[in-house]
Amino acid sequence: MSKRVAILISGGGSNMVSLCEDMVGDHPARPCLVLSNNPDAGGLAKAAARGIETVAIDHRPFGKDRAAFDAAVTDALERAEPDVICLAGFMRILTPEFTARWEGRMLNIHPSLLPKYKGLNTHARAIEAGDAEAGCSVHEVTAELDGGPILGQARVPILEGDTPDGLAARILPLEHKLYPAVLRRFIKGERELLNLS
C-alpha cells in the first residue's frame, strides 16, 4: 500500500512538482493533497493538472489568529490522511500545536546550509557574511523555526560578484534533486544526513 504525502505550498510550487514527478513507478508513496494558504499560488494549477486534489485555505481572513488558521489546515490534512507532510515554499510560521500534531512526519526545505541563516533572505546573508559556500537543507519540522533535525544538504560555491538572485537560481535545481531524494529515504525510515554534491 503506497504511503500518502501531502504537500503545503504558498507560491509557484517548483519543489512540489519535483516531489510529484519523483513519486511514480516503484516509489513507495504518492501525493494525496496539495494545500496552499495563498488561493492564487501558481502551484495549485500545476497540481490540479496532475490530477492531485488541491485545497486553498486563505490565511488572510484569520488575521492574527494563527491557531485558528492552523486548525483549519489540520482539519483538511486529517481528511486527506497523509503519512508524511512536505512543506515546500510554505511561507507560514506554524504554531507549536500544529508542529506537535504532525511531529515526526513533517519535512521542510530551506534555502540555506542549516543551522546557518534560519528565516528569510538566506542568500543575501551568506553573501554579506563572505561565506565560501551556500546551499539548501531538508529538515524535520519541530516547534523551532528551521530548527529540526537536518536530513539532507546540497551546496554550491559562492562566486565573486554573486547576487542573491543568481545564487537562488543555482540552488533551486539542487533543491529539486535533494527534496525527492530525502523524501524517499524518510519514508523508508532512513534518518542519516544525505549530502548531495
Alpha helices in 103-146 (DSSP H): 122-128
- Shorter beta-carbon distance to ligand GRF: residue 71 or 168: 168
Q: Using the rule CB under 6 A, give the single segment among 8-16, 23-31, 49-57, 157-165 that binds ligand GRF.
A: 8-16
Q: Does 111 bind ligand GRF (CB under 6 A)?
A: yes
Tell me if residue 74 falls in helix, strand or coil.
helix
**What is the DSSP-derived secondary structure letter of residue 62?**
G
Q: Does 124 bind ligand GRF (CB under 6 A)?
A: no
The secondary element (H helix, E strand) that includes residue 152 is strand 150-157
Q: Which residue is nearest to ligand GRF (CB)?
A: 89
- Shorter beta-carbon distance to ligand GRF: residue 118 or 188: 118
CA distance 183 to 192: 12
- Shorter beta-carbon distance to ligand GRF: residue 77 or 154: 154
Catalytic residues: 110
Q: Using the rule CB under 6 A, give the single segment among 6-14, 44-52, 75-83, 159-167 that binds ligand GRF.
A: 6-14
CA distance 3 to 59: 28
Using omega within 30 degrees of 0 as the cis cutoff, is the peptide bond preceding 115 cis? yes
